[in-house]
Structure 1
Amino acid sequence: MVSPLCLLLALVLLYHRPASSLDCDLPPRHGGPETFILVNQMGRLSLLSCLEFRKDFQFPQTLVDGSRLEKTQARVVVQEMLQEVFSLFSTNDSFEAWEETVLDKFLIELYQQLEDLEKCLEKEWKVGLSALGSEDTTLAVKRYFQGIRLYLKEKEYSSCAWEIVRVEIRRCLFSINKLIRKPRK
């Protein structure tokens, strides 16, 4: 059963448009240990028992490795990734796979990070700053998450499939942290 709080948060984010600019300091919670702790606590199965479910989701590593993204573009990518993670874990199928209390905390943490990003973007918009994120980078993020969704559907949302996705999302969150912390122009 989907908790009412998470359902409300999901609806807010589904109708929320990606922001276009960001040039402010984010609170320490962005990329902080709380998100990693929560995603680790969600694990219910031994990863070893799910090895035959492994899949390379082809994470768009060029988004976090190279220095081709300006600070504003990097923030747009971070926002898009966080929205996709939130959307993925807000589904009914996700609520059936994870312990509800930990999942709720994880979604609330993601939501708070997205709100912080939105506040920064609103401030920038008011002072007339606007730099659009590259459509190619946003499309790469969307393709990556679409691949994850198709994989879950193909594996009929099994416990092992969700465990593999949880580990992949942990990798994604690590990359988001790397993107946030990387010095930009």
Structure 2
Amino acid sequence: MALSISVLLALWMLCSSPAGSLDCDLPLSSGNFTLLSQMERISILSCLTDRTDFRFPQTLVDGSQFEKTQAMAVMHEVFQQILNLFGTSGSLTTWDETLLGKFLSGLYRQLSDLEMCLRKEKGVAESPLASENSRLAVKRYFRGISMYLKEREYSHCAWEIVRVEISRCLFFVNKLTEKFRK
């Protein structure tokens, strides 16, 4: 399902709110939304035939099932997977190096902030099975994205479809983050 430009713009605007916290100073992904938008190299409209359903994990859509530490563990996995995906050599040849560097730096900062939060929450009990199942769902989702890119030979349209999908992913991570604000 492809998202129109106006829907993407609306999602970006919804997610551009000031940073929140999870009992620590964990920022929302609004800066990364801006960078992903700026990274657009070709119109998504020219890539509609490349669309695919990546089977976004419903556990992220319905974050109500998560306790705070479970949500943080899932968000950690999402950020790590996005870093892995956009840190590949195929990504380096597709995107503007400066924007990609800023995007990766922003993700790394978020990952570091999240790791700090997880250390603070370490004493809080979490269900290891629920957290692990959700993290595995996230890994499967990103494995599907990686396989899609490989099958499409890392084409510009394939990366554009992935860029839009990662925006969607970050939108749901932001929703999950907002759930646990003080």
TM-score under structure 1 length normalisation:
0.80
User: What's 2:75 paired with?
Assistant: 78
- Residue of structure 2 aligned with 1:53, choices 36, 39, 50: 50
Q: Is the 8 A contact 1:81 1:141 kept in 2?
A: yes
Aligned AA for 1:54? R
Shift in Å, 1:100: 0.2
**Which digits, 9 at most, give the CA deviation of each residue in 1:127-159, with x for residues without a partner?**
x44533522101100000000000000000000
Q: Is the 8 A contact 1:63 1:69 kept in 2?
A: no
User: What's 1:14 paired with?
Assistant: none
**Which digits, 9 at most, give the CA deviation of each residue in 1:49-105, with x for residues without a partner?**
111100010101233325111111111111100110011000111000100000000
TM-score under structure 2 length normalisation:
0.81
Aligned AA for 1:146? R
Runs of 4+ more than 4 Å apart: none
User: What's 1:144 paired with?
Assistant: 141
Change (3 A) 1:65 1:24: closer
Q: Which sections of structure 1, spanning at least 5 residues, go unmatched?
A: 1-22
User: What's 1:166 paired with?
Assistant: 163
Aligned AA for 1:69? F
Aligned AA for 1:124? E
Q: Which sections of structure 2, spanning at least 5 residues, go unmatched?
A: 1-20
Aligned AA for 2:27? R
Alignment of structure 1 residues 17-36 onto 2, 5 Å: 24-27=22-25, 29-31=27-29, 33-36=30-33
User: What's 2:172 paired with?
Assistant: 175
Change (3 A) 1:107 1:139: same
CA RMSD of aligned residues (A): 1.8
User: What's 1:124 paired with?
Assistant: 121
Aligned AA for 2:28? H
Identity %: 57
Change (3 A) 1:36 1:70: same
Shift in Å, 1:37: 0.2
- Residue of structure 2 aligned with 1:44, choices 41, 47, 52: 41
- Residue of structure 2 aligned with 1:67, choices 46, 64, 72: 64
Change (3 A) 1:167 1:26: farther
Q: Is the 8 A contact 2:76 2:111 kept in 1?
A: yes
Q: Is the 8 A contact 2:54 2:144 kept in 1?
A: yes
CA distance in 2, matches of 1:78, 1:149: 19
